[in-house]
Every structure is written in structure tokens, then in C-alpha cells.
Amino acid sequence: MRRIALLLLALSSPALAQPKPATATGPESHASLLQRTPALTLVAPPKPLIGPITIGGTGWGPFKRLCVTRHLIQPDGKEVLETEPSCFTVTTATEQGATWQLDMLSDPIRGGPRIAFAATRNAAGTVGDVVVTPPEGVAAPPPAMLARLHTVFRVMLEAHGLRATTLAPKAPFLLPLQIAEADPDTTVEGGGFTCTPDGTATLRRRPVLVATCRATARTDLGDEAIGRVDMAGRFAIDTETGMILQHRYSSFLFMEKDPKKVMPNLRWKGISRQDLQ
């Protein structure tokens, strides 16, 4: 598969049937991305770190639902829902020693079936093997496709958490984003979001570390074309578990290389909102 999520939409969206000429070239600056990023819903602004902070140590918390909503930004600034929200409900969460066994169920998308999957996350923040259960009445996919689904869901769950670590004030750290494991044609610079701690705060009565993060991903689309998406925003990381309780980041998708004019006018602004609660 030669598409990251936004590129899949770029190829399938009716909006591309009547493309508008690009009015600029090159990427959007990280400063601009941050400026248009919605604020986190914190109780109060973050307090600067005055010393090292320990993140993680518990595999899970009282979390019942994870949702990610993505919007595209029209030229007039209006937000348009890119696709249906991607949501998962935690049906059971059981702690066994230092490891949590999680059973999760996806919301249906476009009238499709709900997908059940099970995973583990331990005190170190390591996500174990994910097992996807085909929906009732739906034939099991071929083994290779099922294995790929397992990888996709594991990468997804890993992307919503930070492994147990100790962070120093103003010291950069990495939020892993291992897209290449699910899509070998896509790479993320540095292996994920590069983040800098902003300080500590409270979100939904839980202590969080607030960080400003940025990332760049590229997808080889074939025909010498390279799609690039730049992302920058802020993340609220639960200090007890390392799970991301909330993110708000802006993105900009464009063709970094397109000698054969596969999608010459592709320049899309987006916003991603995530909540785990």
C-alpha cells in the first residue's frame, strides 16, 4: 500500500475531481502549524518543570474510550470533517501482575462492522501482540491480511502512549510513530514525534505532562512521487500510565516530489483531535 491515511483520502475524495491551482509551494512552517492548532482542554496553563519527571509505571488507567477526529481546512478557514471519527471502546480491562489485558471494540465506519481486538500493555508501556477477531458473519481474511491487521492495530495503540521513562526539563524526547511497520512505503523522520516538555498540568482530574511535538512523514507513491505530511501540535501525556490523554495538532500534506504530476495541486491543511477518557 503506497498511501498514508491522508493520501488515501486525497485519491478517493470527490474534491479532487475539480482541483484548484495551488497558490504557494513548499511546506507550511512549524510555527504556522502551531499557531493554528486548537488548545488543549487543560484546567490551567502548564507549570514549567523544575526537575526530572517520571512518566509511566502503570500499564493502564480508568480509560474507557479513545477517539480521533480529523478535519480538513478549506481556503475560507472552515473545518470539514475528513472522515468519520475513529473511535474504540474498552469493553474490559483486567490487570494481571504488571500487565493489563485489554479488550477493545471499534465503532462502525460507514455502516461497516465493529472490529474486536485484544491487546496487552505492561508497566513499562510495552504493547504486546494484538489479536483481531473477525466480526460475526464475516469470513476470516487470508492469514497475511490478518497478520497485517494485527500490526496495524498494534501500531495504532503504541502511537497513543509513551513508554515508561524519566524526562528532564527542556530535554527533547520521542513519541514513537512506527508507521513503516504497517506501511513499508511510509517513513517518519526520527521514528516519531520529536517533543519538548512544556510543563505539568491537569486534564480530567489526572496529572499530565504537556509537550509540544512535531513530525514529518513521507510516502513513496511510485512514479518517483513522494507525498509529505508535516505535523505539529501539543500532547497531554498521563504521568501515571504514559498514555496520551489528549492531542491537538495541525498537519499539512503536499507533494514533495512529483515529476510526473501525479497530484500536482495537492496542498491540504488538516487538524487532528484525540481524546482518551
In a domain, 149, yes or no: no
The predicted structure's pLDDT at residue 40: 98
Domain that includes residue 58, residue range:
5-13+25-85+161-276
DSSP code for 178: -
Are 207 and 187 in contact by the 8 Å Cβ rule? The answer is no
Contact partners, residue 165, CB within 8 Å, separation at least 6: 54, 55, 56, 173, 242
Does residue 155 lie in a domain region? no
Residue 73 lies in a domain: yes
Instruction: State how far the Cα of 255 lies from the Cα of 4, in Å rounded to an integer.
Output: 13
Q: What is the CA radius of gyration of the chain?
A: 19
244 in a domain, yes or no?
Answer: yes
Does some domain include residue 124? no
The answer to whether residue 95 is domain-embedded is: no
Distances (CA, A) of 207 to 72, 174, 175, 236, 240: 31, 20, 18, 9, 8
Half-sphere exposure of 150 (CA within 13 A, CB side): 17
Cβ neighbours of residue 274 closer than 8 Å, sequence gap 6 or more: 66, 67, 68, 69, 160, 244, 246, 247, 248
Looking at every residue in the chain, the average pLDDT score rounds to: 89
The answer to whether residue 152 sits within a structural domain is no
Please, which residues have CB within 8 angstroms of residue 43's CB and are 6 or more apart in sequence?
201, 202, 203
- 149-198: pLDDT as tens digits: 899 999 999 999 999 999 999 999 999 999 999 899 999 999 999 999 99
**The model scores a pTM over 0.85:** yes
**30 within a domain of the structure (yes/no):** yes
Burial (Cβ within 10 Å: 0-12, 13-18, ≥19) of residue 163: middle
Question: What is the residue whose three cell numbers read 478549506?
Answer: 74
Residue 113: the pLDDT is: 85
- Left if phi > 0, otherwise alpha if psi is -120 to 50, otherwise beta: which for 170? left
Q: For residues 157 and 195, what is the distance between their CA atoms, to the nearest angstrom? A: 19
Complete DSSP assignment for 27-82: PPPHHHHHHTSPPP--SSPPBPPSS-EEE--SS--S--EEEEEEEEE-TTS-EEE-
Q: 130, 152 in Cβ contact below 8 A? A: no
**In this structure, how many other beta carbons lie within 10 angstroms of the beta carbon of residue 50?**
9
Domain count of the chain?
Answer: 1
pLDDT in tens, 96-112: 999 999 999 999 877 78
What pLDDT is attached to residue 135?
82
Please, which residues have CB within 8 angstroms of residue 171's CB and are 6 or more apart in sequence?
A: 196, 197
pLDDT of 173 reads 98
Q: Is a pLDDT exceeding 50 seen at residue 47?
A: yes
Residues 88, 66: contact at Cβ < 8 Å?
Answer: yes
